[in-house]
């Protein structure tokens, strides 16, 4: 399995309604996608995170480039700052706190 965690920070409070409307659609798309074992969103320190777990990288990429998620990616630069995404192999669904720690460590090593 492969997990993906990403974080975004909204550009402004007035971009929130559109961002959350689109993010909800993308979350539902993930939950309905073949190969998705787990999908959730959660806030932490003013950053909004998505955490998904996939059976195969191909399933993740198919989701990422189609439907509501692809449409969200196109408008995200207008709505939010994408901080970064981190992908990592896993044998079970990671706890959001563990995934967040890995995300943070990856960001610190990239800086």
Best CA proximity match to 37, nearest among 19, 14, 16, 63: 63
User: What's the pLDDT score for residue 98?
Assistant: 95
pLDDT tens-digit series, residues 24-55: 999 999 999 999 999 999 999 999 999 999 99
The 3-state secondary structure of 45-105 reads: CCEEEEEEEECCHHHHHHHHCCHHHHHHHHHHHHHEEEEEEEEEECCCCCCHHHHHHHHHH
- Asked if the model's pLDDT at residue 106 lies above 90, the reply is no
Return the domain boundaries, the chain. 2-110
CATH code that applies to domain 2-110: 3.30.70.100
User: What's the pLDDT score for residue 111?
Assistant: 46
User: What's the pLDDT score for residue 108?
Assistant: 60
User: What's the pLDDT score for residue 30?
Assistant: 98
Average pLDDT over residues 8-29: 96
Best CA proximity match to 68, nearest among 16, 40, 33: 33
Q: What is the DSSP letter of 111?
A: -
pLDDT tens-digit series, residues 68-100: 999 999 999 999 998 889 999 999 999 999 999
Q: At what angle do helices 67-79 and 57-64 cross, to 10 degrees?
A: 60
Q: Structure pTM?
A: 0.90
Provide the mean pLDDT of the chain: 94
Structure tokens at 103: 């995300």
């Amino acid at each position: 399995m492969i997990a993906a965690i990403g974080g975004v920070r909204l550009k402004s409070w007035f971009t929130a309604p559109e961002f959350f409307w689109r993010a909800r659609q993308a979350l539902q798309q993930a939950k309905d996608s073949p190969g998705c074992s787990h999908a959730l969103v959660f806030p932490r320190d003013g950053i909004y995170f998505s955490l998904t777990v996939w059976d195969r990288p191909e399933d993740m990429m198919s989701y990422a480039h189609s439907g509501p998620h692809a449409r969200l990616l196109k408008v995200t630069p207008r709505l939010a700052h994408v901080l970064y995404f981190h992908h990592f192999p896993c044998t079970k669904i990671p706890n959001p706190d563990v995934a967040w720690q890995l995300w943070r460590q990856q960001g610190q090593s990239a800086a």
